[in-house]
Every structure is written in structure tokens, then in C-alpha cells.
Structure 1
Amino acid sequence: MHSATRSVQKGVANAAQEKRNFYFIAWRWHFYAGLFVVPFMCMLAITGLIMLYGPQIESAQYGDKIHVDPLSSQVEASDQLAAVQLAYPDSTVKEFIPAHATNEANRFAIIKPDGTGWFVLVNQYTGQLVGEIDRDNLYALANEIHGTLLIGDLGDRLIEIAASLAIVLLITGLYMWWPRDNASKAGFFKIRLQSGKRIFWRDLHANIGGITSLFLLFFLITGLSWAGVWGGQLVQGWSTFPAEKYYGIPVSDKTHASMNHGNEKEVPWNLEQAPMPISDKKLNSDPEEADLHAVHNMTMPKAHYNVEAQDLDTVINTGQRLGFRYFRVMLPTDDTGVYTLSADTISGDIQDPTQDRTVHIDQYSKQTIIDFNWGDYALMAKFMAAGVGLHEGELGWWNKALNTALCLMFMFISVSGVVMWWLRKPSGAGRLVPPPMPKDTRLWKIGALVMIITSVAFPMAGLAIISMLLLDFIVLSRIPAVARLVK
């Protein structure tokens, strides 16, 4: 009897020890992932806030140029375009962006001969040019840092690793936060003010992290969908349109991403990798007109390509007949380019993603070539169209307020994690002091396997985790001088 009792007690003790070991596994992974993720999380939150309030910042800087006095009638868009072409004869006019409000000026996006992008503001009631705004502004800088750290593909990969590891951080954090025993239940949805600094900061960090976890996962997934490997090579590639959509349509070697301005996302996510259709003057002109057009293009400076201004009115009328409520017009920038009418949530044009629409029009015949809309989107594309407006705070004041609070909380979670480490670290210790490695190495390997399986869908996270495993097994635990730094 006593032997059986001792056996049961031993089994219970072993089970309890396994739970503690697994907790330390999760904590150790949480710690190592946090080392990499924390600075990136703070950077993403800060730059995200700058972009969130980009329109307000721009209005404060350029309010005297942006705001106009509404009148009873407007000048034709073609006359506005002609005024811009006259004022900037050596620049390429790339896009016409009608104002969203009656007291704001219309915009024409231009590319100057030096390659820089500018918005030219036109008073749509008088036809007068009222100023210009450099597109390489604070918003553009924040956007570039947010996406590439200003170092191109390398920055994109580093941010992708950080965002992928943040999912590992989120999973391990939820495991540690979720109540398992009396100790963990004591701090679940509670802030213990009388239990010392470590417990106080732990409760703040864990509860705010737990409450915001689903929001964080949403931001990570929508952000990763634009990353170079997981987004560009996997998910985005699976969400393009079937070949039948392009049946009989001549296409360019350019993709829709070519319409983006630098790192700014102006094109719907699932269209970025889709090929651009082309305008074919041979199919739309008689031989004599085609020859004259070719000669005209040969004599034009190669630094710019301007369309006939009056054609803009025709294209706008087409868009109105097609049922657009609001739309912007991308102009052809070469003799095979097309007019593109678009209204989408990614650009902040509209707030209803089911109304996303992109239409391409032949620049010669003014006939519709291809029409992309919500019904053509794959499942992931619909998720992105619906989610990106929420990610960017475009769905109203409540969305902006929510995103502001979330960014501040994400930064607090990151900083509080560092504070918790500092309070736990022995005074004066010149080492990292991560959570101890469980002695049951078999169980530790199981935990590592779980993490690898969890992150296998995110290649850059898998690469980082394998690197961390090798570092922990080969270097940190086997080289005494290094081991002392991390104990």
C-alpha cells in the first residue's frame, strides 16, 4: 500500500516537475525572442504612429496650400492637368487624385527630371496651382523605416524575422499568462500592487500582453503579408488572379507594383504581382496615325511623357459610367501605358473593402481592358483588403483612437519586458541572465520542436529559431566563457 502511494506521489511530483520544466522552456524562448523583437516592436509602433497621423501632420505643415474655398462650379480636370503640364514641362504627370473634401485642393502626382516625386496642388474651382508638396516627407521617411530600415532588402528581412519571432513571443507569452496553478491564477486579469516591483511589472506586462494578443497577431499577419519572403514569395503569390482573367489581353513585363511610389503602397496587395496590361496603338490607329504617333514619341524628351490633357475628361466620364463613386486616375507614363482608375482601402480612397475596384483603360481607344474587383479576390486578398484599412486606421476616428492605444500598449509591453529583466537580474551582473535551461533535456527538445513546428509557416522565423537552437546548444552551453555571460 505504502509503495503504491509513494508511486502515485512520485508520479504527481514528476508531472508537476514536467509542467515547471515546460514553463521554463516557454520562458527561455520568450526571453530569447524578446531580445531580438523588442527594439523592432518599438520602432514599428513609433513609425506606425507617425504614419497614422500623417494626414494631420501634413495638414499642419501645408494647410495654406491644401485648403481652398469651395465655389459653386469646378474647372474641368483636363484644364487642371493642362495647367500642371504647362507649369512643369519637363516632368511626367503620373496621377490625378481628386480631393476627398470640398475644401481641399486636387492633387497631381508628378515625377521631376531628377526622379523626385511631388504633389502639385490645384484649386479645382479656379484652375490655379496653389503649391507643391514633396512626397519624400516625414510620412515617407517613417514608411521607409517601417518597411526596410532604410537599408533595402536586408532591412525587410530583419523586420520579417522580428515580426515572425513576435508570433513565437506571443504564443509563449500567452502560455505563461494563462492560469495553470494558484500562482498564475493570482495575477490573471489582476494587478497586484502590494507584492513588490517584480510582481507589479509582471502583472502589467502579462495582462496587457494577453488582452492585446489578438490585435498584435492581426497586425503581425497583415504586416508580414508585405514582407519579402513570407508575403512576396508565398502568400501574395498564391493570391494572384487566375490566367483566365487575362485571356486575350496583351500584358507588359511590368507588374502593378510599378505604380507604387517607392515604398508607399498605392496598389491593392493582391494586385502587386499581377502583370500590367498594355495599350497597343497598332490595334487602335490606322497606319498613318500610328506613324505620326511614333514620330511624336521619338521627338519627345525621354525624361517625361505627357498625355493629351483632354483625354482625362473622357476617362473620368468612363469611370462615372462604370459606377465609381470616388476614384483616382493613374496616367500612362509611356506609349504602351494605360489609364488606371482605382478606389481601394489600401490607398485610403474608400472605407468599404467590398467596393475595391481597379479598372484599366486603353489610352488610345479609351475602352476598358480589364476590371478587377472584390469578387475577383482570393480569400487571403479579401482578408487583406478588409484588414489593411483597420491596420492603417482608415475606418474612422474610432479606428485611429484604437490604433493609437494599441501602438502605445505594444511599446509599453516591450519596455516593461526590459524592466522585468532588469529587476530580475542580479545587481551588478554583467550578463544576460536568461531563464534557466531545464535539466530534462528531452522535454526541452520537445519544446523546441513545438516552436519549430509552430513557426514552420514563417520561413524567416524558422531560420532564426534553428540559429538560436544551434547557438544555445553549441555555443552558450558548451563554451565556459560564453556560458557565464548567459547564466
Structure 2
Amino acid sequence: LHKSSRVFWRDLHAVSGFWISFFTLFLLISGLPWTKSWGGMLKEIRQVQTVSTHANAQAQSQDWTTGGVAPGSVAVGGVSAGDHAGHADHTMAEHTQHQTADYRLLDHLVATVTPLQLAAPVLIAPPSEKAANWTARSDAQNRPLRVNISFDADGNISSRKNFADRPWLDRVIGLGVAIHEGQLFGWLNQALGALTALGLILLCVSGVVLWWKRLTKTSLLHTLGAPPGSRQRLPYAWAMIAMVLVLGVLLPFFGLSLLLVLVIERCLMPYFPVLASYLGLHTTAP
């Protein structure tokens, strides 16, 4: 605080970046189940785990995405009744079963489920190919509060599955998703998410300020203002390189973007020395 403004902005950028990186990394990891590559891989692992540990694999449906009331659903007494929420790809057979379901049970099921005080919203669904009887489930964003209930033909509760009854992979992912969405531990969870977002904004702003302070020593027409590359041996350099390589393998598109930048810098930029100098790159003529 008692040194130059450039040192202030540099330290603000570096220190805040160090601490915010942990929260950002968690948001990145907890969001991987939603991605195509990681989500597909985790889905296959989960299927293998479910088949090997549960005799009835269909009873343990995947619960990785946020659910909602399906189109055409009806809210009854604070409890939503509708088509199987979360299963938008109904087949014709499912629709036929829904049409022949005894909907006279609905009022009885609502009266049975309401006193249980499940976390809202609660979705009640008629029989389908995925469930032979009526079902009810809590679709709360705080996933550890979710409950799945099955009823028999007479509308009585036949089974109840809480979050703790789900496979360990579902529980780990469910906790990560709940924290990612700011739902696990109330306002503090949301405050941490907001702090992370504000920290990332601070990094962007402080980076631009540092760039501008560096640029004032020269002209934007002569250089983009990139910091000069260090020629000295930096501590922990190999640890940083190893970490980047691991992330490049675990995150395919991140790895591809790194390879693209590397190819452009090493293979193309030597043929454009003026542009390379403007960007602050140290290249060797081909």
C-alpha cells in the first residue's frame, strides 16, 4: 500500500488470483459432469457401478442434471403432479400408459406426500416404462435433500430412497453440483460463489490496468504491451508445466487450445517477425 501504484496493482492481481484460483478450480471440477466428455465417461462408470451393486439398475436413475416440472404439469396443494419430470424423451408406449393410468389415485397420493414435508418442488408421476407404479420425488436444488418414493397399486408407500441410499458416485457429484449452484449451505454458499465471480472480474480489471501502465512507456502502434519473457530459471517451473499437461489431458478442449497456440507461435509466427515482435514473442527466423 505504501509503494508505487504499479506494485499495488501487481500484488492485488497476484494475491487475489492465487486465492480465487482454488474456488475457480472447484467450480471447474464440479461442472465437469455436465460436459460431453467427462459427463459421458462418468455416466458409463456409474452404470457399471449400479449394475454391480444393485439388482434393479432402473431403480437407481441418474440424478446429475437440474430437474423441473415437465410441460403440462399441474401444481396441486403445493405438490406438482405431472409427467415424469426430467424425462422429456417419452416414448409412445409411455404416453399410452399415462393415458390408461388411474388418475383417481392422485388426490390420495397428494394427501399422502404432503405431510412428509419433502423439500420443494415435489413431483408426482404416473406409471411409465421407467416405473411400474406411481412415484413421487423431491426435486430440490439442494440435492442431499432429494427423496424418491414409490407407491404400490393401492397408493401406499412401498419404498423410499434418500440421498444417502444412492451410489457413492451420485452422492459425490450431487454434493459438487449443490455447491456449484450455491444451494448446499445457504447464503454462505451463494456468497462464496459471488466472491469467486467478483474475484475473476478483479483479475480482469487489474490485468488491464497493469497492461495499460506498461503500455504508457511506449506506443500501442509499436507493441501490444505484452510483458517481456523472463530468461532466468523460474522456481517450480516444471511443477507448473506438469500441472498444465495433466489439465490438458483431463480437459481435451483446453489441451487442444494449448496445442493450437503452440503451433501458431512456433510454426507460423517465425514467418511474420513484425507481427511476432508486436505481440511480444521471441521467435527464431525459419
Q: Is the 8 A contact 1:361 1:370 kept in 2?
A: no
Report the equivalent of 1:434: 226
Name the aligned partner's letter for residue 311 of structure 1: L
Question: What secondary structure sits across from 1:485 in the alignment?
Answer: helix
- Is 1:413 aligned to 2:197, yes or no? no
Report the equivalent of 2:253: 460
Name the aligned partner's letter for residue 243 of structure 1: V
Q: Is the 8 A contact 2:147 2:160 kept in 1?
A: no
Within-5 A mapping of 1:111-122: none
Which of 167, 179, 197 is equivalent to 1:377? 167
- Is 1:357 aligned to 2:150, yes or no? no
Distance 2:176 2:66 in 1: 22
Report the equivalent of 2:76: none
Question: What secondary structure sits across from 1:225 in the alignment?
Answer: helix
- For residue 483 of structure 1, report the CA deviation from its aligned partner: 1.0
Distance change in 2, residues 1:481/1:427 (3 Å)? closer
Question: What per-residue deviation string (whole Å, max 9, x for no partner) do you get for residues 218-262 of structure 1?
Answer: 2221123322223x12345434551156645779xx976898459
Which of 378, 383, 387 is equivalent to 2:176? 387
- Is 1:200 aligned to 2:8, yes or no? yes
Question: What per-residue deviation string (whole Å, max 9, x for no partner) do you get for residues 391-416 of structure 1?
Answer: 32222233333333332222112221
Which of 385, 389, 404 is equivalent to 2:194? 404
Distance change in 2, residues 1:325/1:229 (3 Å)? same
Distance 2:110 2:224 in 1: 62
Distance 1:451 1:324 in 2: 47
Which of 9, 27, 31 is equivalent to 1:223? 31
- For residue 202 of structure 1, report the CA deviation from its aligned partner: 0.9
Report the equivalent of 2:45: 238
Q: Is the 8 A contact 1:249 1:277 kept in 2?
A: no
Name the aligned partner's letter for residue 33 of structure 2: S
Distance change in 2, residues 1:370/1:402 (3 Å)? closer
Give the aligned CA root-mean-square deviation in angstroms: 4.7
Distance 1:433 1:306 in 2: 71
Distance change in 2, residues 1:245/1:436 (3 Å)? same
Distance change in 2, residues 1:193/1:235 (3 Å)? farther
Q: Which runs of 5+ in 2 are unaligned?
A: 70-85, 281-286
Report the equivalent of 1:57: none
- For residue 203 of structure 1, report the CA deviation from its aligned partner: 1.4
Distance change in 2, residues 1:336/1:421 (3 Å)? same
Looking at both structures, which has the greater relative contact order when contacts are Cα pairs under 8 Å and sequence separation is at least 6? 1
Question: What secondary structure sits across from 1:429 in the alignment?
Answer: coil
Distance 1:427 1:454 in 2: 36
Report the equivalent of 1:474: 267
Q: Is the 8 A contact 1:277 1:360 kept in 2?
A: no
Distance 1:398 1:316 in 2: 34
- For residue 463 of structure 1, report the CA deviation from its aligned partner: 1.4
**Alignment length, in residue pairs?**
253
Name the aligned partner's letter for residue 268 of structure 2: V
Which of 266, 277, 281 is equivalent to 1:484? 277
Distance change in 2, residues 1:222/1:250 (3 Å)? closer
Distance 2:242 2:279 in 1: 22
Question: What secondary structure sits across from 2:171 in the alignment?
Answer: helix
Distance change in 2, residues 1:248/1:406 (3 Å)? closer
Q: Which runs of 5+ in 1 are unaligned?
A: 1-191, 263-272, 282-292, 298-303
Distance 2:19 2:65 in 1: 39
Q: Percent identity?
A: 24
Distance change in 2, residues 1:365/1:371 (3 Å)? farther
Name the aligned partner's letter for residue 200 of structure 1: F
